[in-house]
Amino acid sequence: MGNCWPKPVENLPTTTNTRTTSPARNNDDGKATKTRTSAAPADQGGGAAAVPPSGQIVTPDLKMFTLAELKSATRNFRPDTVLGEGGFGRVFKGFIDEKTYAPSKVGIGMAVAVKKSNPDSEQGLKEWQAEVKFLGKFSHPNLVKLIGYCWEERQFLLVYEYMQKGSLESHLFRKGAGEPIPWDIRMKIAIGAARGLAFLHTTEKQVIYRDFKASNILLDGEFNAKLSDFGLAKSGPSDGNSHVTTKVVGTYGYAAPEYMATGHLYVKSDVYGFGVVLLEIIMGLRVLDLNRPSGQANLVDWAKPSLPDKRKLRKLIDPRLQGQYPSKAAYGTAQLILNCLEPDPKCRPSMEEVLDTLEQINGIQMKPKSVKAETNHLRHYDHRPPHRTYHGSGGARGNATGSRQNNSPKVVRSY
């Protein structure tokens, strides 16, 4: 394979008992340490059952797969196993044994998502290292679980837990996505994503996610949200500094204006991105779409002036919801979005404050207008008490609106 490797990831906790070295880990003196090759215990692999809600920093116990094992798990990376594709490369669905992590037959054992680097990708190794560095270190119910990795024949692969319902992007924007997500599920997703981001921001060494967007929010079978794709994650400022100065990368539309203009990356630059995604969630539209009418291509520029006005806000809410949402909660969400989109990062709330606000908003329940009108009618004529109705149900069946944005400088990823 040769020895001409770029500088590996630094400052990862190390493990022993191995026969080979990996560019995933390095000591402070630059000498490569040996990497664990034995399989991790089942309860530390694909599931998050043992992880406390607050999350924790863990010593990596990642499985080092061979390329042959991952070829077997994915049926030699067959095209019909592809889950998605991004700047790093393609993501394939595979199956491994729950206890040994050995490859297994289709439908047997544990489903996994295998991200395989594109040989022509300039960002492959660097992002692969960042994934191992951050996801190998943190464990949280709202972060996708990294099970293991592989580097062989100048190919870099990562193995994650499989997320049954794919990305938030696929449910909000893609045509043929099926029934639209109800309001209460949208709030559940927003809260889960906020918890994951708040955890990253409050670790001892703050982590700036830097690429918060709908395609990086993955959903399990119960619509629990988990953040994925840590290839652009960055350690936060230290030594009393307020920001990190770095090369501008990410996805246009989600990146904070101060970062785009100066390269100064703040922890609250992530908060801006969260505000953009929250706007997408309530409107059901992509942040950028050049196929929309003039003046509406940029969702933030178009919607921001209308968010403080309750009447105008009603016209912005995703029509597929058919009014099945509490108007007070929608207005509270709009105000939170405005706070997150403040031009000055100092004026934005922290992610902990965002999470608190979202949880309060989620507690607001109000009957749909049609039911309210019916109960008011009954009150007027026979004074019967109003019926109790289930909040957050329904939504018209139909295709998702909005089209895929092909003018972004960065390819949207699924993992």
Task: State how beta strands 146-152 and 217-219 pair.
Answer: unpaired
Alpha-carbon span 45 to 147, nearest angstrom = 5
- 28 assigned to active site: no
Q: Which long-range contacts (CB under 8 A, 24 or more apart) does 99-104 make?
A: 99/39, 99/42, 100/39, 101/39, 101/40, 101/45, 101/63, 101/65, 101/147, 101/148, 102/39, 102/69, 103/69, 103/70, 103/72, 103/73, 104/73
Single out the catalytic residue among 211, 270, 289, 318: 211
At 354 the three-state DSSP class reads helix
172: which 2 tokens? 């909000």
CB 88 within 8 A of CB 231: yes
Which of 270, 265, 264 shows the shortest CA–CA distance to 197? Answer: 270
Cβ neighbors of 353 (< 8 A, separation 6 or more) are none
Residue 397's φ and ψ, nearest 5 degrees, are -80, 135
Dihedral sign of CA atoms 91, 92, 95, 101 in order? negative
Instruction: Determine the Cα–Cα distance for residues 287 and 283; give it in Å rounded to an integer.
Output: 10
User: Pairing state of beta strands 89-96 and 82-85?
Assistant: antiparallel
Asked if residue 372 belongs to a known ligand binding site, the reply is no
The CA-atom distances, in angstroms, between 406 and each of 64, 212, 251, 293 are 36, 18, 12, 16
Contact 103, 79 (CB under 8 A): no
Annotated binding-site members for ATP: 116
Q: Which amino acids are annotated as binding site, given as ranges?
A: 116
- Residues with catalytic function: 211
